[in-house]
Structure 1
């Protein structure tokens, strides 16, 4: 178990991952940190990678020269890196998941008396999941909460009560995982974060049982995004990196790009600018590898526009408006107006970036558009962004356009 590792092993892994280095990259850095004489005595790169894996698994603590090479590569003192009395800099994945509410059991009933199902049932479930995703593109969490939980409950009961072959059961677990992902996303958008976390855990369990690493990564990444935004962003970093580890280097390109995207956002929220920018670069480079390979249908929305928006959001959070405003303006000019929630959210980032660029009048005009667009949208995400935009504009209250916006009755921005 990760939580039982010695502190130094957890720290070695955390420091490597914080820098977005693979174990092969870590091996290269260790070699580069060696002087010429030490380098001649080092084994081949593959052997060093095996050593790194053993160190991070806690099998044995590094000895010289590796101990010294680690301190040079990380720029951290030996006492700080290997002192077992110190607390790890990041929570472990097990620690994070242990704080979440348990999902409903997926254990089949001992005496299943339900109907026998086959792949036709799975195909029908797949179609219903996809319809729910498409509905989420144009409707908000508050509108979809009930049907989403109803679909998830139906699928879970089928798994527990129906009879089926092993292959059908594995496929059913996959559909449950997909339903859990979109249901968790919908619940989070509706502000039901505890229920969302519970559903995500259920989905992670289902994906693991189905042996679907791509789906597990998507669920971990979705959970990371929620935890980063409304929980402890350091735990979000742990979850985002876990999603990246699960997908591995051979998963679908768009799934890997999405995992990097979540990593970038988590690092933005803990103020690790360099790590965030490197992750965004990895996301872009990975997305370019997409070339029509087989991939799950739920990746349909991951494209260059989404990465551009995440890049602009990152620049906005890092107070670099001159980088954020042109990208947001460009993307929003071509965004589908039927996706009211997403359009409103992205307008909120533009309003904040314009405020940081000392353009309060234009920021206020953008905020008006964002508020008008989202007033009938039952989304906790947009409501939270309302507050952020108003808070950031508050120092410009003496500007007439801003004053008019700030004096508008707050209840008028929402349909109760």
Structure 2
């Protein structure tokens, strides 16, 4: 497939995912533009040419697409080098397989498992749409390997590879708010884990569902799913710790202080003896530094003034060179925690400033937009003039169709 068709397909997919007609998109582009654009009919003709690959968007329209879809230019309009590199990666594994004596050799599986670890480690620093494309290619390769001859042990390792990849794909889908696709991926991951008898993947599936429920304001459901994940997960696994954290955040959203603090206490007890993992960015390996970040988030949602100091410390660590170096995307989320905590301590001015930094980073993913909108609504409630600018920054960077609305907390 040519690179032009690739970006044209991405443009069509992003519009279709939102349920927009081409005229709807034309209105969205006009709303985020810095100047008055032509009439919608003229923009529709331009969109039609872009989506069929006839003309690549010029710099102005490329930027407008990025604003409306909340994606980076590289995620929408890369020149194809990324796909070539990914093809090379798959081809390298395939070559190793063919050199080996069996259809699915130990070496092939080892290289595939290393590639999965790389993908999981890239999750915190890669736009979800971009990472999803890489995960899909690896899933296609795993599917082909199932047709080859293999031992029972090799078959189980292949099941696990498919399970981890499906789980990571579901996580990307949730980041992009593509919930039907996420549900399908989670079902597949759970089925593969069931065939392989792997409880940790099954637990991660439930934990991931809990996280999605939490972002959708379904706090009771999130709590039940998180507890279910703990029931399934091995007691010393990362999935067990992460699910405990999700339970605590759900309790915080429901205003249950005692239950929230009990969950935080359990996490600290489990995490305190843990060493720093060799790959702290790995999405499915619990990094002890996450404990403070989860505490900051949870206490800010609970409205506890202690959240401010926690959030400041977490942000400083995420932007420092220690423990694996700076982590910009997690730092952007940490700024939202700090902003919400500052609102709870009646410091709306600094809250607005910190939230603006998070927005301007360009690193927020769609599953975090609601958190940004919550802070914006809180700043607006204080009647600050800065709230107008903050809302405009949000509209410009993340789309004009979502008005900031404050979710129900502690309900």
**TM-score bracket for the superposition, by shorter chain length:** 0.5 to 0.7
Give the 5 Å matches for 1:83-122.
116-122=103-109
Q: Say whether residues 1:205 and 2:191 are aligned partners.
A: yes
The one of 195, 207, 211 aligned to 1:221? 207
Cα deviation per residue 1:328-360 (whole Å; 9 max; x = unaligned)?
Answer: 001101204753332211111211111121111
Distance in 2 (CA, whole Å) between partners of 1:378 and 1:390 is 15
Q: What is the aligned length? A: 295
Residue number among 348, 359, 364 corresponding to 1:360 in the alignment: 348
Q: Which residue of structure 1 lines up, in the alignment, with residue 30 of structure 2? A: none
Alignment of 1:283-322 (within 5 A): 283-290=267-274, 298=282, 302-320=286-304, 322=305
In the alignment, structure 1 residue 240 sits paired with structure 2 residue 223 = no
Quick one: distance in 2 between partners of 1:293 and 1:284? 16
Aligned to 1:373: 361
The whole-number CA distance in structure 2 between the counterparts of 1:202 and 1:196 is 10
Question: Which whole-Å CA distance do the structure 1 matches of 2:394 and 2:198 have between them?
Answer: 49
- Do the aligned residues in 1 keep the contact of 2:193 with 2:201 (CA within 8 Å)? yes
Conserved? CA contact 2:276–2:288, under 8 Å: no
Alignment partner of 2:177: what SS? coil
In the alignment, what sits opposite 1:100? none
Between the two structures, name the one with larger relative contact order (CA 8 Å, sep ≥ 6).
2
Counterparts of 1:127 and 1:358, CA distance in 2: 48
> When the two structures are superposed, what TM-score results if normalisation uses the length of structure 2?
0.65
2:160 corresponds to 1:177 = no
Equivalent residue number for residue 315 of structure 2: 332
**1:258, 1:389 → 2: CA distance?**
25
> What residue ranges of structure 1 are gaps of 5+ in the alignment?
1-114
Runs of 5+ unmatched residues, structure 2: 1-101, 321-325, 401-411
- Aligned alpha-carbon RMSD (Å): 2.9
- Residues 151/332 of structure 1: CA separation in 2 closer, same or farther (3 Å cut): same
Which secondary structure does the structure 2 equivalent of 1:333 belong to?
A: helix
1:281 aligns to 2:265 (yes or no) = yes
Larger C-alpha radius of gyration, 1 or 2? Answer: 1
After superposition, the Cα gap between the structure-2 partners of 1:152 and 1:273, relative to the gap in structure 1 and judged at 3 Å, is farther
In 2: Cα distance, 1:290 partner to 1:176 partner: 28
* Structure 1 residues 258-277: aligned runs within 5 Å: 258-277=242-261
From 120, 126, 130, the counterpart of 1:143: 130
Question: How big is the shift at 1:395?
Answer: 1.0
